Amino acid sequence: MKPSASVDTSELHKALRQITLFEDDLIYIEGAGAAILVNGMRGRVPVDTSATQNSIRSGHFVELSDTRVVDDIGPETDYAPVIEYGRDDMPNYPIQPFVRPTAIDDFSKVIRAIGFALGEIVLLRWPKS
């Protein structure tokens, strides 16, 4: 028989329900994950003039409230989709994806960064007994 252990997390769940997150908290938490995505895209985008690389930003909030943050993260140049998807009619514009690989390859880093930032907020707001 394998050794086993059980952990009672009821007090943790109770304490977490007492913690209130505010809009600024969500921006901080989201920003941690957004920074990973921004850096990943900037590192993967092919550089010619650096315009697309420099245009990759976060902080363009589509929705922002005490319960939800939706940030439009990515390049802002008009031709960024041509870099990402290429052009069939122009062979000198090959497919050079940088947004999709970042979303796929850096997913676990984003989750860890968000989790760490949430943990920081939780520790600050932890109910003092």
**Over the stretch 15-48, which tens digit does the pLDDT of each residue have?**
777 778 888 999 999 999 999 999 999 999 999 8
d(CA 41, CA 76): 12
Could you list the residue range(s) of the whole structural domain that residue 42 is in?
20-104
- Is 38 inside any structural domain? yes
Structure tokens at 24: 């600024």
Is this prediction's pTM over 0.85?
Answer: no
pLDDT digits (tens, 9 = 90+) for 56-83: 999 899 998 878 889 999 999 999 999 9
CA–CA distances in Å: residue 10 to residues 14, 16, 111: 6, 10, 24
Structure tokens at 122: 């939780």
d(CA 83, CA 3): 54
Chain-centroid distance, C-alpha 87: 28
Q: How many CB atoms lie within 10 A of CB 17?
A: 9
- Is 4 inside any structural domain? no
Using DSSP, state whether 70 is helix, strand or coil.
strand
Task: Write down the residue that tokens 């984003």 correspond to.
Answer: 110
- Is 122 inside any structural domain? no
- Is 83 inside any structural domain? yes
- Is 87 inside any structural domain? yes
Structure tokens at 114: 């968000």
Q: Is the pLDDT of residue 2 over 70?
A: no
- Is 84 inside any structural domain? yes
The domain tally of the chain equals 1
